[in-house]
Structure 1
């Protein structure tokens, strides 16, 4: 987005509140490629807000009050004139790029209606879902993933995000998958060990961190979940669960009803995930230069448990001892 270039070095202080019952705290606000970055004064990231999803709750007033989405409970208060102007210009630029009602939309809607009547019982729903996912931008998928994570957190308890643990999660993600590091989120309880959400988000059950002695085991679960994610796109799964009408609404408005996200959150938490074979996992361990034996022992995978580490697996410690201790205590109160 070219409008970002003039604001690439812009920073401002603000007041951030994680939820209605949380205390406001001072944060450092800056603009990323597609996100508003909210960090501690020591520049440790607390959260990222998708720019297309940001809403202003008090237009024309100062301090400006923002939220990361229609259903979100987080709030950010900014009094810096330059930062407010930058955010509003970016929101306006994004809004101009959104599709607006007109002849083309009416024509597309009519065409879709005729096609639905002809093929709704056969190929149309799947084709429409695939088309919707293909045209949904990464920022849109990230916003939906954030909303879905929030709904899952309502069922399991909120995401564990102390400052030290959040930084350690980022370093673990970049070490395991440096070319496409996912955002890792830890929940205090969940039925599956891991979940993949739209927007390159992977959710970890806190028990993975608390019950194992080495981070290599957690790295193995992350690698296994990326294989499942690549085989079954999380956004496709969501829209298949949501159905045709929800897909049409997303295609035309860019939004999903909260009820759709709530239902999918319940489905994800109750869905059983199949194991990934050691043979399929071994190349991923080698690519990440990780010893597969700790994970193999944890999940009783003979192909990994007795494997000899690849000669290339010599990148040293996965993460520091301090980071591992932070992760094991990330959900401690």
Structure 2
């Protein structure tokens, strides 16, 4: 742009009055427009000054006669007569072209501030939620987890109905807990009539079991398999982690600050768990788990899919498919009592 403007104004000259410093007499001069400078020459063709086009300021924008000075020296002036409109227009055009090419400190500062703000937003949006959640998982004690789990259960029971209770059924559940303990901590088994698909382990250790698992099967193998799957899911991902992920950053910060979660967050998580239950663990993890707890895999597989088509890998890899010498899951009497826990 600047070179195009220069070619248009090559060899342009005009008469002017030049004063080298404040109080000095003004001299008649000729101003010549060059490639990068204004050249000021007296009437004897002696060069008096060179002004850089990039460092010219106008003292009286829009007024005439036009009065210019170097940016750093307002005491040295150049007054171009009113009739020299082409020279004035040329200088103004070149000054504008040069100004557009200069860096904009304000824009740079604004861009820097925007970049910094974006970095903060990204940190808050991407890093902080995970970091805060990880910290909470490390510092929340077992007693607080149990308290949160009980508060969560209150919301779950609004959908599933109250837990099934009979004296004999409670003893049978206790025996099943002892036979299938989690690898860490303790799990408390609870049977509900509806709302839960299979088995669901919550924050605090409660494992909810659908009543169909004990009422619709001849042996306890299927319910045992679902309990093992629930333990494996909890081992792969802490149930509190999913709760905090559903609750969001502010609820995590609230937990860290006050030791509690909001009622709305607990209710929303309970509804999400029952509406979208966790997926079963991978087959390889399940097979390893059945081997570790010494439970047959096939009854669990057929409980998930009675045709066996979608669980063929579990059926074929059952570690105890031909082994009848396994420790019993429950005694026959305990199993009968457990089947009647909901009064059926």
Aligned residues: 219
Is residue 257 of structure 1 aligned with residue 256 of structure 2?
no
Deviation digits for residues 177-211 of structure 1 (CA, Å, limit 9, x no counterpart): 26544111111111422212111221111111111
Q: What do residues 114-169 of structure 1 show as CA deviations (whole Å, max 9, x unaligned)? A: x9878212200111011012100011101111111121001210111222212211
Q: CA RMSD in A?
A: 2.4
Once the two structures are superposed, what CA deviation does each residue of 1:97-127 show, in whole Å capped at 9, x if it has no partner? xxxxxxxxxxxxxxxxxx9878212200111
Alignment gaps of 5+ in structure 1: 1-114
Secondary structure at the aligned position of 2:162 is classed as coil
User: Offset at 1:312?
Assistant: 8.5
Aligned equivalents of 1:219 and 1:297: distance in 2? 13
- Say yes or no: does 1:303 pair with 2:313: yes
TM-superposed CA distance for 1:326, in Å, is 1.7
Partner of 2:216: 211
1:272 Cα shift?
3.8
- 2:196–2:208 contact (8 Å) kept in structure 1: no
The equivalent of 1:327 in structure 2 is 338
Q: Structure 1 length normalisation: TM-score?
A: 0.60
Q: Equivalents in 2 of 1:222, 1:160: separation in Å? A: 17
For 1:164 and 1:150, the matched residues in 2 are separated by 24
* Cα pair 2:298 2:321 within 8 Å, conserved: no
Cα distance in 2 between the residues matched to 1:204 and 1:292: 18
* Structure 2 counterparts to residues 87-106 of structure 1, below 5 A: none
Which residue of 316, 319, 329 maps to 2:327? 316
TM-score for the superposition, normalised by structure 2: 0.58
Change (3 A) 1:187 1:245: same
Choose from 149, 157, 174 the match for 2:161: 157
Instruction: Tell me by how many angstroms 1:296 deviates.
Output: 3.0
Equivalences for 1:93-132 in 2 at 5 Å?
Answer: 119-132=123-136
Tell whether the 8 Å contact from 1:220 to 1:292 is kept in structure 2 after alignment: yes
How far did residue 294 of structure 1 move? Answer: 2.1
Contact preservation (8 Å) 1:286, 1:310: no
CA distance in 2, matches of 1:161, 1:253: 34
CA distance in 1, matches of 2:264, 2:206: 21
**Pair member with larger Rg:** 2
Give the Å deviation of 1:317.
1.9
1:226 matches 2:242: no
Please say which of residues 304-313 and 176-185 is displaced more in the overlay. 304-313
CA distance in 2, matches of 1:163, 1:119: 53
C-alpha distance 140-332 of structure 1, shift in aligned 2 (>3 A): same
Residues 178/245 of structure 1: CA separation in 2 closer, same or farther (3 Å cut): closer
- The answer on 1:141 being equivalent to 2:145 is yes
How many Å apart are 1:245 and its aligned residue? 1.5
